[in-house]
Amino acid sequence: MCGFAGYITENGKAPEYKDNLIEMMNSIKHRGPDDEGTHIDDMAGMGFRRLSIIGITNGKQPMYNEDESIVVTFNGEIYNYQTIKEELIKKGHIFKTDADTEVLVHGYEEYGKDLLQKLRGMYAFAIWDIKKKEMFMARDIFGIKPLFYTQTDKDFVFGSEIKAILKFPTVKKDLNEEALESYLSFQYSILKETFFKGIYRLPPAHCLTWKDGKVTVERYWEPVFDTDDNITFDEAVKMTNDVMKNSIEAHKISDTEVGGFLSGGVDSSYIVARSNLDKTFSVGFDYPKCNEIPLAKTLSDYVGVKNTSKLISTEEFFTEFPKVMNHVDEPLSDPSAIALYFLCKLASENVKVVLSGEGSDELFGGYNIYKSPFALAPMYKIPKPVRRGLAKTFQKLPFRFKGKNYVIRAGQDLEERYIGNAYIFKTKEVYKLLKNPKKKYTPQSITKPIYDKVKDKDDITKMQYIDINTWLWGDILNKADTMSMAHSLEVRVPFLDREVAKVAFSIPVKHRVDKHETKRYFRKAANEFMPDITAERKKLGFPIPVRNWLKEDKYYHLVKSTLTSKEAEKFFNVSELEKLLDDHYNGKVDNSRKVWTIYAFILWYQKHFVEAA
């Protein structure tokens, strides 16, 4: 786990930017405090910060092929690198190190972009072909590792984090207000263009080629649900346990000690129960129903592993939140990101690498919302025109009552009502909140191309597909990478493995979800390795007591001061923000997620565009 940054500029000018490259590298030192390296020729500069995990003694980057005509910088881990290395040696390639990085440079020499079909791991990398004057970049299939880029009039600039790109002298720092509208609905930055004008993210499962000033981006892998209806429930259980054993073993490859995150949920518990780790880490809050430490202790005792935990106080949370908004490159309003920040800090004091349970819900069908097709089934017996008419009527009613949202949802197609695991503000609400809405995108215009690829699938599969292509990389993996790298910690995710995906995408939907239970076959698989209370536990996410905090005078006033600040007035109709907060404070409606989404953005903007100016 590391970080890199670099640029391509006019022929002969690259050495002039050496000091800027060092500054770019220093801005992401937290990603790799152990070592650094640079490559500069007449046209390109590439810088690297290293967190030493595999090939500790000889894994320095940038790394070259035999004649040093091809150079690579790489962030991540290739878990099947030894197999690929053996193939390449047989083809005549000469390896100088035992690091997984070197298979990329030789693999690209041998296979070109087809190398991507062979890789099993998490990765973002940049390969510069000095002879061809061509840059090739790629990001792993799920988007575990980040990669950003921009093209100015004369320069192509890239990096593991946006903050590194912003250090390059020809890159301007301008807010992209179009990103704000979609953020208010999704709770994270989802557009290809980031919150900074002209700076783009390379999407998961995509590769990029730069040649003669032209950038070409293409997709090289798709998450295809090709189910086999002949697979029985028991076969699904066995297939899952077999492939997970293999994935966990691969993800444990390291020259340093590997620990594990452990909550009270089935995902992290399953990883820990099957990993034979020595150390696990947990956090909780000093609030009822928001402390998973006791459950984590139960599981750690059951499997015989040491557990280190921390109870986060409310004051600590609010003290650290602005600091985290200063660290992240784009606003992220998921409150669990702050809990993860504390968890990563705790783990980093003991190990360099941890295993974590991200991805299980998306692949196996674990979110409670996936049961909604069963809940809405009685309404589907009513003719669609009637349902839609009822929904429109109920939407116009100014007051809330039990069953209102149920009827509204039943009158909408899935493609209208589901944009992913979070849907904070509807489009009309966004336009009401903002002073100058751009109205370029709606949530549905963003998700439509994704839905179009699964037109023939059932609603549960469609929801999983949407979440894999949006929520997973935009929220779950984004916060995992950002919070862990803030503490120079590598987080590995065994569920998000190419081979695991093959199995998950083959399992019939009837084994995934029914009206009573989510990820059914996975829970049964987990039952073989842990107590029933853990394997059968309902999906809760990371419980954060935001709704309680916003009803306490101290934090109500703290948040209100931000929502009524001059920075808030720049973008929002502040009276609308005050109403959202006051209605929540007075117990009229739970607006906690809406308030927090706006609060997070304003704090982020203050840190990046006001205090940093």
pLDDT band per the 50, 70, 90 thresholds, residue 174: very high
Residue 434: phi and psi, rounded to 5, are: -85, 145
User: From the centroid of its chain, how far is CA 379?
Assistant: 35
Whether 537 shows a pLDDT value over 90: the answer reads no
Q: What is the pLDDT of residues 93-114, one digit of tens each?
A: 999 998 899 999 999 999 999 9
**Mean of the pLDDT values across residues 453-469?**
97
Provide the pLDDT for residue 55: 56
Q: Give CA–CA dist 573/595, Å, rounded.
A: 13
pLDDT band per the 50, 70, 90 thresholds, residue 226: very high
The residue ranges of every structural domain in the chain are 2-219, 233-366+468-535
Provide the pLDDT for residue 53: 57
Domain at 2-219: CATH code: 3.60.20.10
DSSP state of 572: B
Provide the pLDDT for residue 56: 55
Confidence (pTM): 0.94
Name the token pair of 605. 């903007």
Whether 294 shows a pLDDT value over 90: the answer reads no
**Mean of the pLDDT values across residues 329-333?**
95
Name the token pair of 69. 């005509």
Homologous superfamily (CATH) of 233-366+468-535 is HUPs (3.40.50.620)
Strand 134-139 and strand 121-129: the pairing is antiparallel
Q: Give CA–CA dist 528/526, Å, rounded.
A: 5
Is 2 catalytic? The answer is yes
Provide the pLDDT for residue 172: 95
Provide the pLDDT for residue 437: 94
Measured CA distances, 49 to 59, 95, 520, 545, 562 (Å): 12, 22, 42, 37, 36
Peptide bond connecting 378 to the previous residue in cis, omega within 30 degrees of 0: no
What's the whole-number average pLDDT of the chain? 93
Whether 536 shows a pLDDT value over 70: the answer reads no
**Can you list the pairs that 284-290 forms with residues at least 24 positions away whose Cβ atoms lie under 8 Å?**
284/309, 284/310, 284/311, 284/312, 285/311, 285/312, 285/314, 285/317, 285/339, 285/543, 285/544, 285/545, 286/311, 286/312, 286/313, 286/314, 287/314, 287/545, 287/548, 289/543, 290/543, 290/544, 290/545
The residue among 436 and 612 whose pLDDT is bigger is: 436
Percent of the residues in the chain that have a pLDDT greater than 90, as a whole number:
80
Whether 540 shows a pLDDT value over 60: the answer reads no
Q: What is the pLDDT of residues 562-611, one digit of tens each?
A: 999 999 999 999 999 999 999 999 999 999 999 999 999 999 999 999 98
The dihedral through the CA atoms of 318, 323, 326, 329 has a sign that is: negative
User: Treating both helix axes as pointing N-terminal to C-terminal, what angle do 592-605 and 553-563 enclose, rounded to 10 degrees?
Assistant: 50
Q: Give CA–CA dist 440/427, Å, rounded.
A: 11
Q: What is the pLDDT of residues 375-426, one digit of tens each?
A: 999 988 899 889 989 888 888 888 788 888 888 888 899 999 999 999 999 9
Candidates 480, 472, 469, 425; CA nearest to 447 is 469
Provide the pLDDT for residue 124: 97
| Residue among 2, 207, 290, 344 flagged as catalytic | 2
